[in-house]
Structure 1
Amino acid sequence: MQTPKKVKVIELEHLPMQIGQEVNIEGKSIALFRLSSGDVRAVSNVCPHKNGPLAEGVVSGEYVFCALHNWKISLVTGEVQKPDDGCIQTYETEVKDGYVYITV
Structure 2
Amino acid sequence: MTSIAEPGVVIGAVADLELGESRAYVVGGKQIAVFRMTDGSLRATGAVCPHRAGPLADGQFDAAKIVCPLHQYAFSFADGACTSDGIGSVSVYRAEERDGDIVVWL
* TM bucket normalised to smaller: 0.7 to 0.9
Structure 2: where are the runs of 5+ without partners? none
The CA RMSD measured in Å over matched residues stands at 1.8
Structure 1: where are the runs of 5+ without partners? none
Number of aligned residues? 102
Q: Pick from 37, 40, 45: which aligns with 1:38? A: 40
1:1-104 pair list within 5 angstroms: 5-82=7-84, 84-85=85-86, 86-104=88-106
Equivalent-residue separation in structure 2 for 1:37 and 1:74 (angstroms): 18
Question: What fraction of aligned residue pairs are identical, expressed as a percent?
Answer: 31
Aligned partner of residue 15 in structure 2, secondary structure: helix
**What are the Cα deviations for residues 48-97 of structure 1, in whole angstroms up to 9, with x where unaligned?**
11111101111123211101001111122211103x01211011112111
4+ residue runs over 6 A deviation: none
Verify the 8 A CA contact 1:19 1:58 in the aligned structure 2. Answer: no
